[in-house]
Amino acid sequence: MNRVTRVVRPIGRVGQWAQAVVQVMVLLIALAIPASVDATQPQPPKEFVPVDEVPPGEQIPAINLVAAAYGFVWLAVLGYVWSIARRLKTVETELADLESRRR
Amino acid sequence: MIGSFLRVAWHVMRKDLTVEVRSREVLFTTLFFAVSVVLVFSFAIVREGRAPDDVAAGILWVAISFAGTLAMGRTFERERYNDTLRALILAPADRPAIYMGKLLGLLLLMLLVEAVLLPLVALLFSAPILAFPVHLTLLLTAGTFGFCAVGTLFAAMLVRVRSRDTLLPVLLYPITIPVMIAGVRGTAALFQAAPDEPMARFWIGLLVFWDAVFVTLALWTFEPVMTE
Amino acid sequence: MRTLTTPFIVLSAGMLFVSPWIINAAPYESTMGLVQKVFYFHFPAAIMFLLAALICGVNSFRFLFFRKQSADGWALAAAELGLLFGALTLVTGPLWARKAWGVWWVWDPRLTSSLLLWMIFGAYVLLRQYGGPGSERLSAGMALFGMLNVPFIYYSVNVWRTLHPQTSVVPTLPTDMGIPLWFCFAAFSMLFTALLTLRATLEHQRVRVEALYLLEDEV
pLDDT digits (tens, 9 = 90+) for A22-78: 777 777 777 666 666 555 554 444 444 555 555 555 667 777 788 888 888 888 988
pLDDT at residue number A23: 75
Least confident of A6-20, A61-75, C137-151: A6-20
Query: What are C33's strand-pairing partners?
Result: C29
User: Whole-angstrom Cα distance, residue C93 to residue C110?
Assistant: 11
pLDDT at residue number A37: 56
Interface check for A54 against chain C (CB to CB < 8 A): the answer is yes
User: Whole-angstrom Cα distance, residue B20 to residue B15?
Assistant: 9
The 10s digit of each residue's pLDDT in B136-163 is 999 999 999 999 999 999 998 888 888 8
* pLDDT higher than 90, residue B88: no
- Domain assignment present for A12: yes
Percent of chain C with pLDDT over 70: 82
A73 against A16, higher pLDDT: A73
* Identity of the residue in B150, B177, B221 whose CB atom sits nearest the CB atom of C153: B177
* pLDDT higher than 70, residue B227: no
Chain B residues with CB within 8 Å of chain A CB? 1-2, 4, 7-8, 11, 91-94, 198-199, 201-202, 205-206, 208-209, 211-213, 216, 219
- Domain assignment present for A50: no
pLDDT at residue number B161: 83
Q: Which of B95, B138, B209, B210 to mutate to test the interface with A (most CBs of A within 10 A)?
A: B209
Report CB contact under 8 Å: B1, A11: yes
User: Whole-angstrom Cα distance, residue A48 to residue C101?
Assistant: 9
Q: What is the identity of the amino acid at B160?
A: R
Supply the Cα-derived Rg of chain A in whole angstroms: 31
C89 against C153, higher pLDDT: C89
pLDDT at residue number A16: 66
CB atoms within 10 A of CB A1: 4
User: Whole-angstrom Cα distance, residue A1 to residue A3?
Assistant: 5
- Domain assignment present for A8: yes
CB neighbour list of residue B94: distance below 8 Å, 6 or more residues apart: A8, B4, B5, B8
* pLDDT higher than 80, residue B214: yes
* pLDDT higher than 60, residue A9: no
User: Whole-angstrom Cα distance, residue C104 to residue B35?
Assistant: 35
Q: Which of C60, C69, C147, C152 to mutate to test the interface with B (most CBs of B within 10 A)?
A: C152
* pLDDT higher than 80, residue B208: yes
User: Whole-angstrom Cα distance, residue C19 to residue C25?
Assistant: 10
Q: Looking at beta carbons, which residues of chain C come within 8 Å of B220?
A: 65
pLDDT band, very low/low/confident/very high, at C112 (cuts 50, 70, 90): confident
Q: Which chains touch C (3 or more CB pairs under 8 A)?
A: A, B
User: Whole-angstrom Cα distance, residue C111 to residue C89?
Assistant: 10
C positions 132-171 inside 8 Å of B (CB): 132, 134-135, 137-138, 140-142, 144-146, 148-149, 152-153, 155-157, 159-160
Query: What are B50's strand-pairing partners?
Result: B47
User: Whole-angstrom Cα distance, residue A51 to residue C105?
Assistant: 12
pLDDT at residue number C167: 43
What is this structure's pTM? 0.81
A positions 25-64 inside 8 Å of B (CB): 26-27, 30-31, 33-34, 36-38, 40-41
- Domain assignment present for A49: no
pLDDT at residue number C173: 63
User: Whole-angstrom Cα distance, residue B150 to residue B214?
Assistant: 7
Q: What is the mean pLDDT of residues C132-160?
A: 80
* Identity of the residue in A65, A76, A77 whose CB atom sits nearest the CB atom of C96: A65
How does DSSP assign chain A, residue by residue? -HHHHTT----HHHHHHHHHHHHHHHHHHHHHHHHHHHTTSPPPP------S---GGG---HHHHHHHHHHHHHHHHHHHHHHHHHHHHHHHHHHHHHHHHH-
- Kindly provide the b/e burial profile for residues B168-201, where b requires at least 16 CB atoms within 10 angstroms of the residue's own CB: bbbbbbbbbbbbbbbbbbbbbbbbbeebeeebbb
> B30 with B75: CB under 8 angstroms?
no
pLDDT at residue number C100: 79
ipTM for the complex shown: 0.81
pLDDT at residue number A47: 45
User: Whole-angstrom Cα distance, residue C110 to residue C113?
Assistant: 5
Report CB contact under 8 Å: A46, C33: no
Interface check for A82 against chain C (CB to CB < 8 A): the answer is no
- Domain assignment present for A52: no
User: Whole-angstrom Cα distance, residue C98 to residue C86?
Assistant: 18
- In terms of residue numbers, what domain contains A78? 2-43+60-102
The 10s digit of each residue's pLDDT in C31-49 is 666 777 778 888 889 889 9
Percent of chain C with pLDDT over 90: 29
> B7 with A7: CB under 8 angstroms?
yes
Interface check for A8 against chain B (CB to CB < 8 A): the answer is yes
Q: How many independent structural domains does chain A possess? A: 1
> C26 with C180: CB under 8 angstroms?
yes
Q: How many independent structural domains does chain B possess? A: 1
C81 against B166, higher pLDDT: C81
pLDDT at residue number A42: 47
- In terms of residue numbers, what domain contains B204? 2-226
- Domain assignment present for A51: no
- Helix B197-226 vs helix C39-66: crossing angle, to nearest 10: 50
Supply the mean pLDDT for chain C: 82
Q: What is the mean pLDDT of residues C40-63?
A: 91
Q: What is the mean pLDDT of residues C181-197?
A: 88
How far CA B106 is from CA of B23, B30, B118, in Å, comes to 15, 11, 18
- Domain assignment present for A48: no
- Domain assignment present for A30: yes
Domain ranges of chain C: 2-14+36-161+175-218
Q: Which of C127, C136, C154, C155 to mutate to test the interface with B (most CBs of B within 10 A)?
A: C127
pLDDT band, very low/low/confident/very high, at C108 (cuts 50, 70, 90): confident
* pLDDT higher than 70, residue C9: yes
Q: Which of A38, A48, A101 to mutate to test the interface with C (most CBs of C within 10 A)?
A: A48
